[in-house]
Amino acid sequence: MADCEAKVDRKAGHMVRTATQSGIELSPFYNEDSIKHLSYTADLGDPGIYPFTRGLYPEMYRDRLWLKSFIVSYATAEETNQAFRQYIANGLTDLRLLCDLPTQSGIDPDHPSAWNSMMCGGVATYAINVYEKMLEGLPLGEAVFEFAHAGMSSFLYFYALLVGVMENKGIDIKNLRGNSINDPIRTKLVYGCPDFPTRVDRRICLDHIEYSVRHTPNWRPIAPNGVDPCQGGMDAIKELGGALAVATQVMADLAERGVTIDEFGPMVFALDAESDFFETIAKFRLARKMWAKIAKDIFSAKTKRAMQLKIGIRTSGLSLTHQKPLNNAARVALQILSCVLGGVNSLDASSIDEAIGLPSLEARIFNLDTQHIITHEANVPLVADPLGGSYYLEWLTSHMEDEVNKYLQEIEARGGIFACLETGWLNEVMEAGRLKVQREKADGKRLIVGVNAFREEGEEGPINSAIRNVAYKAPTLAMRAEKVAEVKAYKASRDMKRLKPLVKELYQATKEGRNTQRAVIEAGKAGMTIGECVGVIRTGYGIHYDPLAEIEMPDFIREITKE
């Protein structure tokens, strides 16, 4: 009887695949012969030494821990400000700013299409007055901020508001720290943002970077994003390959503006931490190695700083399930651990209740405490790259490098990353990856505990108080009407004698091909809204003022463009 039970138990827990999530076939074990083609100096190097495979700094987390972040953006500026203060007190060190869906699309709350999704996914951040409320009392010259928006107009505009609030308070903007995702490929590939066509996105991206490099040197103005493409269907190879392709193209475009890679400094990637533990660790190590080589070999980087890649992580929200939701605690903990072992610089860990609703306070604190436990109880960060030298990990890192290079060569053969976006090829690749994952789940070749394996019929597992009360609360009709009235009153209250010439300068800068970032800052400080900013730039390009072609331009802007 005991033997029978043992056999049944082994069968129930058997492996169903021999490949990583990206389809890399693995041997049962690896030894020194598996990595004899690698050179320690050329392929690994000590931590803090080119090519930075083993980490950017000699002592890594002994010297500086990773930044702990997550998106904090509720329906109102006041709620968001209160939440920031609460989470900072519990160890949050990186403040991620986000706005609602209409704002990310480049329209104001009083736009006809804003009504249904207004105040959903974040604050209706239409102008500088909202930023002033949201950031009240926060250490603007000391905190680290991140912009996690979708549309390219968001990065140009909200950076302008952040700079404007600092200047209005007399804080030197050279002290501004943080980064913008600011990825023109992800904007269209994943979100299809309507604010600008791709050609304008590409210019806005460069305007923001060029201005930031020269005026806010502690702000990283671009972070090619693999998180959203990965969760849309790109595997780890294509996720990393896409980020490298974007970074390479943007640096080439910047060179035409006279910005060198040594002036630009370290690159930042936003990457996903998926459930495949070792593949994820290998991806982070490889990202640093490949960017260091690109910076040195293609862009002739002279400084160590210019060869460095900083990695910001979002653990996989897509991996979380509403079935047996407490299992998400194990998923998030392992994903955080892969980030620490992979040497990332910033970590935005998903909350265990995100598959159900808006993350609760308890789940957010659990998120931070998990990182504190890994640091101070498990002592994982005591040494840099503790898995370095593992036969398996080094073979996997090397093999993934070969696969990423093949993908980059295909992108180049198809005309580059922007051509691949415009032809729809990137969408085809992402969709094929998404369907592959669906087939694997349906065929039982990718097991998700509690979803297609190890579950009881009709049983979704216990739900504790930290997960039970997290439903999204859609703003009421009255709240939406109040917001529309608030926006209209704000627009009517502005000093138009001050605002008009500043908006005209943005229009002229757009038409003349000059950098638009400073013009957006000045007009934003005078009260220009996100919708007006987008509309003026679109008008400067000779395209319809409104991204959705539903409203006409305001009279004062019509006067400006006719002068």
- Among 431, 452, 473, identify where a domain stops: 452
Instruction: Say yes or no: 239 and 332 in one domain.
Output: yes
pLDDT of residue 458: 57
The CATH number of the domain where 397 resides is what?
3.20.20.240
pTM of structure: 0.93
CA-nearest of 61, 63, 67, 42 to 52 is 42
CA-nearest of 383, 386, 389 to 61 is 383
pLDDT of residue 292: 98
Q: Which residue has the tokens 């898995």?
A: 387
Instruction: Say yes or no: 256 and 300 in one domain.
Output: yes
| CA pseudo-torsion sign 474, 478, 480, 483 | negative
Instruction: Say yes or no: 401 and 550 in one domain.
Output: no
pLDDT of residue 98: 85
Measured CA to CA, the distance from residue 226 to residue 270 in angstroms comes to 6
Measured CA to CA, the distance from residue 270 to residue 247 in angstroms comes to 11
For residue 544, being part of any structural domain is answered with yes
Instruction: Say yes or no: 396 and 534 in one domain.
Output: no
- Among 436, 452, 468, identify where a domain stops: 452
For residue 407, being part of any structural domain is answered with yes
Cα separations (Å) of 291 from 186, 251, 411? Answer: 19, 12, 17
Q: How many CA atoms lie within 13 A of 84 on its CB side?
A: 25
* 359, 324 contact by CB (below 8 A): no
Domain extent, residue 243, equals 225-345+386-452
For residue 533, being part of any structural domain is answered with yes
3-state secondary structure of 29: coil
Instruction: Say yes or no: 486 and 534 in one domain.
Output: yes
**Extended strands (E) in 283-384:** 309-315, 346-348
Instruction: Say yes or no: 533 and 395 in one domain.
Output: no
For residue 62, being part of any structural domain is answered with no
Give every residue of the chain whose pLDDT is below 70, as ranges. Answer: 1-13, 457-472
For residue 73, being part of any structural domain is answered with no
For residue 458, being part of any structural domain is answered with no
pLDDT of residue 402: 98
Cα separations (Å) of 343 from 54, 143, 304? Answer: 8, 22, 17
| CA pseudo-torsion sign 99, 100, 101, 105 | negative
Instruction: Say yes or no: 434 and 492 in one domain.
Output: no
- Among 405, 431, 452, identify where a domain stops: 452
Instruction: Say yes or no: 322 and 243 in one domain.
Output: yes
Instruction: Say yes or no: 421 and 544 in one domain.
Output: no
For residue 322, being part of any structural domain is answered with yes
3-state secondary structure of 31: coil
pLDDT of residue 1: 42
* 121, 100 contact by CB (below 8 A): yes
For 275, list phi and psi in degrees, rounded to 5.
Answer: -80, -20
Which residues contact residue 552 at a Cβ distance below 8 angstroms, ignoring those fewer than 6 apart? 545, 546
pLDDT of residue 307: 98
Question: What pairing do the DSSP bridges indicate for beta strands 94-97 and 144-147?
Answer: parallel
Measured CA to CA, the distance from residue 277 to residue 19 in angstroms comes to 13
* 286, 264 contact by CB (below 8 A): no
Instruction: Say yes or no: 541 and 421 in one domain.
Output: no
CA-nearest of 86, 91, 85 to 66 is 91
Q: How many domains does the chain have?
A: 2
pLDDT of residue 457: 62
Instruction: Say yes or no: 311 and 426 in one domain.
Output: yes
For residue 105, being part of any structural domain is answered with no
Instruction: Say yes or no: 407 and 531 in one domain.
Output: no
- The tokens for 243 are 């980020």
- The tokens for 10 are 């082994």
Cα separations (Å) of 182 from 90, 150, 194, 248, 278? Answer: 29, 8, 15, 14, 29
